Amino acid sequence: MTDYRDPDELIRRAGRGNPEFDQHFLVDDRVLDRIPTYADEFDTTHVLEIGGGTGALTDRLLDVAEKVTVIERDPNLAEFVREEFAEVVEAGRLDVIQGDALEVDLPDYTVCISNLPYSASSDLTFRLLPEGKPAVLMYQLEFAERMAAEPGTSEYGRLTVATQHYADVELVEEVPREAFDPQPRVESAIVRLTPRAPEYEVDDEDFFLRFVKALFTQRRKNVRNAIRNTAHISGLDAPEAIVDALDEETLRKRPGDLRPSTFAELANIALEVGEPT
């Protein structure tokens, strides 16, 4: 078994996390060891890690990848990881990019395996999903449950539909707050995202996602009223034409009861008759 660096010792040498960067370092060796195994079915030739922190997960990723690229926002930690792993950096197996993962150019990676900063989870996820690459990502538990939710449940919402538009979502492990240092105020979960084409077609992906977002701002209303009340968000000049084009059964439902494929049908109709601006 590989003798990995001690996570607590890495923190001691790197320094405590910076609250401004939403840093909660994973220190449970058992969880760290399991994370790469959730990507066994994926191509791990080039692993992207967002938020490398002190390098505890990086250490394990180097064991399964030919190359690892770490994107770390904190300049002090980016430099620490470069120095800590100087030999593999020199060998060309590890690149450390200091910058914001929402802004820097992403490498041509094969899979993303990361303990994401929770404050940027949504934005980072929707930067990664359109890339069409698999991912194993750590999230706040509540966020993960919303990603994997089923229609008709309280967790089901815009995040669910948008995520499952791009990928199959599996919540593969719940992680207690004690596994981190400093401990977050919430429980966490590891999610596996397997990209695939949706089972439906959308005529305009940007409009589809905007339409889903709009209707879920009225999740307690029925679809009829949700369409009428959110035309300004969707950018539709003729919401009544959409209502007239739908069957009564659909109009009586609430947005949280609609499957992603039904949202796609509604969005396509809205594009056709709703006079989008």
- Select from 151, 145, 196, 153 the least CA-distant residue to 170: 145
Q: Which two tokens stand for residue 163?
A: 């995520």
Average pLDDT over residues 45-73: 97
| CATH class of the domain defined by 7-195 | alpha beta
Is the pLDDT score of 1 beyond 70?
Answer: no
* Domain segments of the chain as ranges: 7-195, 205-273
pTM of the full predicted structure?
0.94
| CATH class of the domain defined by 205-273 | mainly alpha
DSSP secondary structure code for residue 5 in this structure: P
Distance CA 230, CA 226 (A): 6
Is 46 assigned a ligand-binding role in the annotation? no
* The predicted structure's pLDDT at residue 23: 84
79-109 tens-digit pLDDT: 999 999 999 999 999 999 999 999 999 999 9
**Beta carbons of 213 and 233 less than 8 angstroms apart:** yes
Is 51 assigned a ligand-binding role in the annotation? yes
Place 30 in a pLDDT band, splitting at 50, 70 and 90: very high
Is 76 assigned a ligand-binding role in the annotation? no
Distance CA 208, CA 190 (A): 28
133-180 tens-digit pLDDT: 999 999 999 999 999 999 999 999 999 999 999 999 999 999 999 999
Is 100 assigned a ligand-binding role in the annotation? yes
